[in-house]
Structure 1
Amino acid sequence: MKIVKTILIGIGATFAIDIFTFTVSLFGSNPRGILFVGRWLAYLPKGIFFHKTIIETPSIANELIIGRIAHYSIGIIFAFLLLAMFGKKWLTKPTLVPALFIAFITLVFPIFILQPALGFGIAFSNRPEQGQLMIKSLFIHLVYGFGLYLSTKAINIISNTSLENIKN
């Protein structure tokens, strides 16, 4: 049951990011991060890790689907990291600080590995809108942290209600 809960927590937290980016897109922003991740992953089997910029790299079949699968898989993996670091106790009595700690850890990979591989430089240093992109990235990862916490709370409420109904 712990594994299923953790998978659901990862899905819930990742879905929180999707809701956030969709909401931001309503104000004119064009979130393409998942598309770029999918394109980057699709080029890995061809031996291409670094791109001049992923924007200039030709599209590849199913890159958005690949990006979505990677997005949710990574969200689930970090949910497991949260439990590995803070234990089953956190799962039963979640608090916000450990979830936000994991959210900050999730920033390391994109800032220092993914963004340079996409041709954007460390922390978007090759992009003219570096500050804006870093703030957006920080917010997305904070949303993930809040999503971890809120998903866990919701799953606990649902599972406790289900257990009470079974007992009655």
Structure 2
Amino acid sequence: MVYSICTLLIGAMATMAVDLWAIARRRLFDIPPPDYALVGRWLAHMPRGRFRHDSIKAALPVKGEALIGWTAHYLIGIAFAAVLLGLCGLAWIRHPSIGPALAVGIGTIAAPFLAMQPGMGAGIAGSRTPRPAATRFQSLVTHTIFGLGLYAAGWIVGSLCAP
């Protein structure tokens, strides 16, 4: 039970760090935030047998796609927190270290590079986007923020309810 609660809190908090970063980068650099409705659209087409799109923006909209996308965004963050705690154990929460959190955070970049972006029509590692290098850099920064969020959340959760 403690493992589940810690995983949920750490994953949600780290994902919130990513969302705060999206707000900051919009204000600081005028970079639009991710559109999680498009993620929801992509996911909602899967039960219909459609896993890959030339352009997810051109795919038929799906009722509730924003809710699906935002829910998936947080569930994926929680799943990645479970990977961190699965690798390091609950002892990591007692004494969080930045190395494993950053390794997992940066390692999560494989998901968009190899699954989401190709499935949504952006190509492997954003190769079909207008500016692939910028897309890759933004992904790297975002996933680094997620790793830092895992670390910070580990400290917060550990201070509140260390197992």
TM-score range, shorter chain: over 0.9
**Structure 1 runs not aligned, ≥5 long:** 161-168
Counterpart amino acid of 1:20? W
Shift of 1:46: 1.4
Q: Report whether the alignment pairs 1:152 with 2:154.
A: yes
Q: Distance in 2 between matches of 1:141 and 1:5?
A: 20
Q: Deviations over 1:21-49 (max 9, x none)?
A: 11112242222342221110111111111
What is the match of residue 6 of structure 1?
7
**Could you tell which deviates more after superposition, 21-30 or 146-155?**
21-30
Output one character per residue of 1:107-152: Cα deviation in whole Å (capped at 9) or x when no partner.
1111011111111110111112111111111111011100000011
Aligned length: 161
Tell me the secondary structure at the aligned position of residue 32 of structure 1: coil
Output the aligned Cα RMSD.
1.5
Task: Select which of 48, 51, 72 maps to 1:49.
Answer: 51
AA matched with 2:41: R
> Residue type matched to 1:61 in 2?
K
Determine the structure 1 residue equivalent to 2:78.
Answer: 76
Kindly indicate whether residue 20 of structure 2 is the aligned counterpart of residue 19 of structure 1: yes
Under a length normalisation based on structure 2, what TM-score does the superposition of the two structures give? 0.93
In the TM superposition, structure 1's runs of 4+ consecutive aligned residues that sit over 3 Å from their partners are none
Bigger drift between 76-85 and 24-33 goes to 24-33
Instruction: Work out which of the residue numbers 121, 125, 133 in structure 2 matches 1:119.
Output: 121
Equivalent residue number for residue 103 of structure 1: 105
Deviations 1:69-119 (A, max 9, x none): 001101111111101111122121100000011012211111011111111
1:63 maps to 2:61: no
Unaligned runs of 5+ in 2: none
Q: Distance in 1 between matches of 2:34 and 2:86?
A: 31
Amino acid at match of 2:25: V
How far is the alpha carbon of 1:66 from its aligned partner? Answer: 0.4
* Secondary structure at the counterpart of residue 111 of structure 2: helix
Question: CA separation in 1, counterparts of 2:35 and 2:126?
Answer: 13
**1:164: which partner in 2?**
none
**Larger Rg computed on CA atoms:** 1
Q: Could you tell me how far apart the structure 2 residues matched to 1:88 and 1:22 are?
A: 31
